[in-house]
Amino acid sequence: MNDIAVIGSGPAGLSAVLYAVRAGLDTVLIDTDFLGGSQASYSEKVDNYLGIPEINGFELMEKFREHLSGKPYKQIESAVVEIKKADNEFIITLENAEVIKSKTIIYAAGAFHRKLHIAGENELSGRGVSYCAVCDGDYFEGKKAVVVGGGDTAVDSAVYLSQICSEVYLVHRRKEFRANIVSLNKLRSLLNVTVMTDAVPVSINGEKSVESITLKNTVTEEETVIHTDSVFVSIGMVPKSSVISTLVEIDQSGYIAAGEDGVTSLPGFFAAGDVRTKPLRQVVTAVSDGAVCVSSALDYISKNF
């Protein structure tokens, strides 16, 4: 039986593996895609990970994986279809029919950004299309930006970008916003932000990078083209928690309820990275989560085995 089963090979999962093997624990890493399964892999540039400035997201993940090269852990490439706990051990059933047993689980499956599913979005992703203003806003200093969304993240992104970009448009499909009133009031006081309601994106346009976005008015169906250098999609994230939704406590948005120690409602089951409830989802916080979860798992193992 393994000491720790880490599910997910993003920054949180790889950090957990590193700390686990350094602690001498029998460790297995499970994921469906070890090369491109992390949100970080799709970042055009990462410039906020201390000590490694201006690196491509995929290259950063390669460095993380290289750090684990030769370390004593098992790696299984398969989807998890079921997790249950019996007789103080976790039983993990994989899509390839393999069954893994472990004393603890560090669940670091992550989350994925909701997409607009419009023409040009995938083609220009990383070339002006972004899903994180905090991550990529600096690359558009003095340029134009469009933010799509109506919640707290979208409004906060528009406020943040207003300090960097020359002009910002916030596009929302309805007149009413879901964002908090404090952020909305701040947004409306900004002179370089234009709020466009009753509007939905139709396409993102450009050859090598974003050049414009086409919007359709939901009332009149009239189309408008806004020339912009960037489009920030802020319509929410979807945590990869469906397989454990009845196993541990999750919030109304599907995130695993867990504090900074990674402890969940199920003893021995720890949550790390984007899949857990947290105020900031970045590579640096994910790496921290992985390390802390191993510390919590060590404490659990010492008390129960």
Same domain membership, residue 126 and residue 94: no
Q: What is the pLDDT of residue 211?
A: 98
The torsion of the CA quartet 46, 137, 184, 193, rounded to 10 degrees, works out to: -170
Q: Are 179 and 267 in a shared domain?
A: no
β-pair partners for 113:
237
Of 206, 233, 260, the residue that ends a domain is: 233
What does the block give as tokens for 44?
Answer: 């055009």
| Claim to verify: residue 205 and residue 259 sit in the same structural domain | no
Same domain assignment for residues 175 and 201: yes
The residue type at 179: A
Q: Domain of 166?
A: 115-233
Q: Are residues 170 and 136 in the same domain?
A: yes
Per-residue confidence (pLDDT) for residue 292, from 0 to 100:
98
Q: What is the largest CA-CA distance in the chain?
A: 66
Q: Per the structure block, which two tokens stand in for 114? A: 């909701």
- CA distance from start to end of the chain: 12
Q: Which residues pair with 239 in a beta bridge?
A: 111
Residues 96 and 129 in one domain: no
Residues 101 and 247 in one domain: yes
Kindly state whether residues 90 and 8 are assigned to the same domain: yes
List of residues 6+ apart from 277 with CB closer than 8 A:
251, 255, 256, 257, 258
Same domain, 229 and 244: no
* End-of-domain residue from the set 186, 208, 233: 233
As a dihedral over the C-alpha atoms of residue 169, residue 170, residue 171, residue 174, rounded to 10 degrees, the angle is -140
pTM: 0.76
Q: How many structural domains does the chain have?
A: 2
Q: Is residue 183 domain-shared with residue 211, that is, in the same domain?
A: yes
- Tens of pLDDT along the chain (305 residues) come to 999 999 999 999 999 999 999 999 999 999 998 775 577 776 667 888 999 988 888 899 999 999 999 999 999 999 999 999 999 999 999 999 999 999 999 999 998 889 999 999 999 998 999 988 888 899 999 999 999 999 888 999 999 999 999 999 999 999 999 888 998 999 999 999 999 999 999 999 999 999 999 999 999 999 999 999 999 999 988 999 999 999 999 999 899 999 999 999 999 999 999 999 998 888 999 999 999 999 999 999 999 99
- Same domain? For 91 and 47 the reply is yes
Question: Which residues pair with residue 63 across a beta bridge?
Answer: none
Q: Which of 15, 10, 47, 53 has the alpha carbon at shortest distance from 32? A: 10
Residues 56 and 166 in one domain: no
The pLDDT assigned to 181 comes to: 92
Q: Which of 233, 251, 284 is a domain's end point? A: 233
CATH number at residue 202: 3.50.50.60
Q: Which two tokens stand for residue 119?
A: 């023409």
